[in-house]
């Protein structure tokens, strides 16, 4: 029987400081009612004096402990992030140092909010090929560092956090059944951070024009997300011969409650089988799915042999899914 990859441990971490909608009312022209009605978000965590690798470290410790794995047993570390510590080296390499995972290779993946699922697909391929036996995959973001706190259309949406999973080689029917990755670069400007790269390197002009902050076309993104995610979920289930009713849990990217509800309604899936925590974290980009996964695992909401579907949509534009038999 060919190898399969299985998640054996989960962990998550959010910074201590909490920023509520009422706190934001004092910073920008907005209100708790406006934010809640349009997004479902009530509060988010903000990192103070912490970089992405620091968040990764705390989430990773919990995942490794849950899996009963020592850092020295990890063969590969993958960090999904668009807000890493620095352009180089990779945040994964910095995490490798902090963990003392001496035998692990390390690299980053950037697919914005879809990053964790892109990383999961890469990890699954490595393990199925037999190249490695144990992988630490982390989704971590410090989005607060890249927000214009005078722009109410973006600063109310995002928060900081990290989620991690240990993925191990296994045989049998349980584990990651399939992953699907997509992108459409023609809509790159729907969500972007235009400054700081080789196209617009840091300068007095990029600072003045606020090019180092997240830019977003909210209405356009919302329409594409709802349409794309429904098809993504249906195609993923069809590929594996399953119906939506057979899902024990849908774990979507935590960006907008209206998008999550619209997807669930179109699949005729009750919200009791949908993981939702964005009211407490906001949109933590690549960290949102692993944080939500860790919470439902620790709450005992998924059990052995349950079918779990993960799906995300983000900048690129990118979208991705993963079907797991727990």
Q: Where are the alpha helices (DSSP H) in the chain?
A: 21-25, 32-39, 52-67, 91-99, 115-129, 152-155, 204-208, 218-239, 257-266, 278-281, 288-298
Strand order in the sheet with 160-170: 4-13, 160-170, 134-142, 76-80, 105-109
Dihedral pair phi/psi, residue 4, rounded to 5° = -130, 155
Contact 30, 68 (CB under 8 A): no
Question: Catalytic one among 21, 110, 256, 283?
Answer: 283
What contacts 140, CB < 8 A, 6 or more positions away? 52, 53, 55, 56, 59, 79, 80, 81, 83, 91, 161, 162, 163, 286, 287
Quick check: is 283 catalytic? yes
Q: Which residue has the tokens 């899996």?
A: 67
Beta partners for residue 283, in sequence order: 158
Question: Catalytic one among 253, 256, 268, 277?
Answer: 253
Question: Catalytic one among 45, 113, 155, 256?
Answer: 113
3-class state of residue 171 by DSSP? coil
38: nearest Cα among 268, 229, 192, 222? 222
Quick check: is 277 catalytic? no
Query: CA 127, CA 26: separation in Å to the nearest integer?
Result: 49
Quick check: is 113 catalytic? yes
Beta partners for residue 45, in sequence order: 18
Beta partners for residue 46, in sequence order: 17
Query: CA 300, CA 310: separation in Å to the nearest integer?
Result: 17
Instruction: List the catalytic residues.
Output: 113, 253, 283
């Amino acid at each position: 029987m060919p190898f399969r990859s299985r998640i054996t441990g989960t962990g998550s971490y959010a910074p201590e400081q909490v920023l509520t909608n009422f706190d934001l009312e004092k910073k920008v022209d907005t209100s708790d009612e406006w934010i809640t009605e349009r997004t479902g978000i009530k509060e988010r965590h903000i990192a103070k004096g912490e970089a992405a690798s620091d968040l990764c470290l705390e989430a990773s410790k919990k995942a490794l402990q849950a899996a009963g794995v020592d850092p020295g047993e990890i063969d590969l570390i993958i960090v999904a992030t668009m807000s890493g510590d620095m352009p180089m080296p990779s945040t994964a390499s910095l995490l490798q140092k902090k963990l003392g995972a001496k035998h692990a290779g390390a690299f980053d993946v950037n697919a914005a909010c879809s990053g964790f699922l892109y990383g999961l697909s890469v990890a699954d391929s490595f393990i199925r090929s037999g190249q490695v036996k144990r992988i630490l995959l982390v989704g971590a973001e410090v989005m607060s560092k890249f927000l214009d706190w005078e722009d109410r259309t973006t600063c109310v949406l995002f928060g900081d956090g990290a989620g991690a999973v240990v993925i191990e080689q296994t045989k049998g029917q349980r584990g990651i059944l399939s992953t699907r990755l997509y992108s459409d670069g023609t809509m790159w400007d729907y969500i972007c951070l235009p400054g700081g790269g080789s196209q617009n390197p840091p300068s007095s002009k990029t600072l003045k024009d606020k090019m180092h902050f997240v830019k977003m076309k909210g209405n356009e993104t919302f329409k594409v997300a709802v349409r794309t995610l429904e098809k993504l979920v249906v195609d993923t289930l069809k590929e594996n011969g399953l119906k939506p009713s057979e899902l024990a849990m849908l774990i979507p990217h935590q960006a907008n409650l209206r998008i999550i509800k619209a997807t669930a309604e179109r699949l005729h899936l009750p919200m009791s089988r949908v993981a939702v925590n964005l009211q407490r974290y906001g949109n933590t980009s690549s960290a949102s799915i692993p944080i939500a996964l860790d919470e439902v695992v620790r709450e005992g909401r998924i059990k052995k042999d349950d079918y779990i579907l993960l799906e995300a949509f983000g900048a690129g534009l990118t979208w991705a899914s993963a079907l797991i038999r727990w």
